[in-house]
Amino acid sequence: MGKRILQRRAGKGTSTYRSPTWKRVGPASYPSDLSLNLEGTLIDLAHDPGRGVPLAVIASGNGKFNVVAADGSYLGQKIKLGKGATPESGNILPLSEVPDGARVFNVELRPGDGGALARTSGGYCTVLSHTEAGTTLTLPSGASKTLSSLCRATIGVAAAGGRMEKPFLNAGAKYKLMRAKPTKYPRVRGVAMNAVSHPHGGGNHPSVSRSTTISRRMSPGRKVGHIAARRAGRRKG
């Protein structure tokens, strides 16, 4: 008789597979007004469940907003945002005001989007050059990208850079971490299941033992593997 495979159960969207967004502190983004120049005070370093880097809560005359915290941030730190800010760690500047060779993080992909690039623990981009076309940066992946000089970024390196160096030591610590993330954990491989539980299951060893390409028109219970693959086998040359 079998059972519904994991992909089908996830698609139904029960609480097991739903992201626990009600636990979040809030969005981490810059104020949407690009012309804003202000000075605020870092009043709190908040832990946001499911996020690897702490959030800096900044209070100013225009209210409070959350941003990704810089390495070395501290309570009471003065944070400047806008064109008049100096290129010091934690300050938020347009890319046109950032000197060549500086490290920046939480970089906007488009002016006013609040920050999209290099937001993870210890992440940063390096400013390479300024041209009429925009500002060229080296991304954490090593690729280069040219963005509008109006895009804003935070000077420095994102906090919690050594987070991944500490081992979990036991399964319970890993389980508690994954509870805060929008994914089911642990996930059992299909090849490790019985044939009745998954199309990849069964056999005397953990191998599918057949092609995993599958038609897009198959029933949901069979739709696992390489769905509607354009090619199969090893690429030659």
**C-alpha torsion angle, residues 166, 169, 172, 174 (rounded to 10):** 40
The reported pLDDT for the residue numbered 27 is 92
On whether both 59 and 154 belong to a single domain, the answer is yes
Residue 76's contacts (CB-CB under 8 Å, 6 or more residues apart) are 41, 42
On whether both 155 and 226 belong to a single domain, the answer is no
Residue 173 falls within a domain, yes or no?
A: no
Range of the domain at 216: 1-17+184-237
**C-alpha torsion angle, residues 172, 177, 179, 183 (rounded to 10):** -120
d(CA 100, CA 79): 21
The distance from CA 65 to its chain's CA centroid, rounded to whole angstroms, is 19
d(CA 18, CA 180): 10
The CATH code of the domain that includes 104 is 2.30.30.30
The reported pLDDT for the residue numbered 2 is 60
On whether both 10 and 36 belong to a single domain, the answer is no
Residue 78 falls within a domain, yes or no?
A: no
Beta-strand pair 226-227/213-214: parallel
On whether both 52 and 154 belong to a single domain, the answer is yes
On whether both 115 and 50 belong to a single domain, the answer is yes
On whether both 213 and 122 belong to a single domain, the answer is no
On whether both 141 and 97 belong to a single domain, the answer is yes
Residue 157 falls within a domain, yes or no?
A: yes
pLDDT averaged per 10 residues, the chain (length 237): 78 85 91 92 94 95 94 96 93 96 97 96 96 96 96 97 92 92 89 91 90 91 91 76
On whether both 31 and 13 belong to a single domain, the answer is no
On whether both 52 and 114 belong to a single domain, the answer is yes
On whether both 35 and 5 belong to a single domain, the answer is no
Domains held by the chain: number: 2
The reported pLDDT for the residue numbered 182 is 82
Q: What's the whole-model pTM score?
A: 0.82
